[in-house]
Amino acid sequence: MGDVQRAELADFLRRRREAIRPAEVGIAGGPRRRAPGLRREEVAMLAGMSVDYVVRLEQGRSSRPSTQLLGALARALRFSDDERDHLFHLAGHQPPPADGAARPARAGLLRMLDLLGDTPAVVLSDLGEVLAQNHAAVLLTGDHTAFTGDRRYAVFRWFTDPAARAVHPPEEQEHQARQIVADLRATAGRRAGDPDVTGLVERLGAVSADFRRLWAEHEVAVRRVDRKTLVHPRVGRVLLNCETLVTPDQRQQLVVFTPADADARERMDLLRVLGVEEFPADAPPG
């Protein structure tokens, strides 16, 4: 861990904030804005931190930011990978590894999340960890960004927590299980020898006979187009088309959910009206 370059960090954050157009992060510009870019309170809202701390960061008066806080700032300000790494260096931290599931969502995918608006969408790692999701996706599937340990991975929750399967009707659960395992098998092939992948497979095999059965069948498939039924606790069954866009390095995916019929469209419209209350965070994100 190095020293914090407070003056450089302050200048960098201030200039990046001023360079972002509000529309890029889903905020209406309005005629009353006298200065370009985002306001400090808007950055604070997007990053989930206090306005006072954003002010202190930009004035070079803050304590050393944590890696979690830096990641939140990088997402809020839509940093590229290079900008994110520079931010970590200025704060005296090593950037997240280029590989592995902990890598923040790509800036371009975050912009697409904003542009999709009321259409639910999530950004996933190639191990099924939710890296970001828009508000519409939270309404549909719950917030999946706070899981830690192996529960970050949808495949692990699927085979270890019955609640994760319960959001699909029984007649679809075998199909979904096969798809999840086939997708993990494809990732394991691309990332041969990667301890993040081999460790996850070993831990799943140790706790789930069902996973061992499906893994032994060696089915391989990267999910790109799918149709599934989500059993939502407030609006009932929702039939969804799922379109998956994969980055060129295949490390991250943007999954977009659209209603598959008129009934599903009506249920999703109702969900937007009802808003978010208590929703179990066990629904599979992709």
- CATH fold, domain 107-274, is Beta-Lactamase (3.30.450)
CATH of 6-90, one of 1.10.260.40, 2.40.30.40, 1.10.600.10, 3.40.1710.10: 1.10.260.40
> How big, in percent rounded to 5, are the helix, strand and coil portions of the chain?
50, 15, 35
Tell me which H or E stretch contains 232. Answer: strand 225-232
- Residuewise pLDDT in 10s, the chain (286 residues): 668 899 999 999 999 999 888 877 777 666 677 777 888 999 998 888 899 999 999 999 888 888 888 988 988 888 877 788 899 989 998 887 654 444 678 888 888 888 898 999 999 999 999 999 998 999 999 888 888 889 999 999 999 999 999 999 999 999 999 999 999 999 999 888 888 899 999 999 999 999 999 999 999 987 788 899 999 998 999 999 999 998 877 889 999 999 999 999 999 999 988 875 544 445 556 5
Q: pTM for the whole thing?
A: 0.66
Burial pattern 70-99, b for ≥16 Cβ within 10 A else e, equals: bbbbbbbbbbeeeebbbbbebbebebbeee
Distance CA 88, CA 65 (A): 9
Distance CA 237, CA 254 (A): 23
Torsion-angle region of 100 (φ positive above 0: left; ψ -120 to 50: alpha; else: beta)? left
Token readout for 86 is 């520079």
Return residue ranges of the chain for CATH 1.10.260.40: 6-90
Distance CA 59, CA 42 (A): 17
Return residue ranges of the chain for CATH 3.30.450.180: 107-274
Distance CA 122, CA 232 (A): 17
Residue 29 pLDDT: 65
Distance CA 7, CA 272 (A): 43
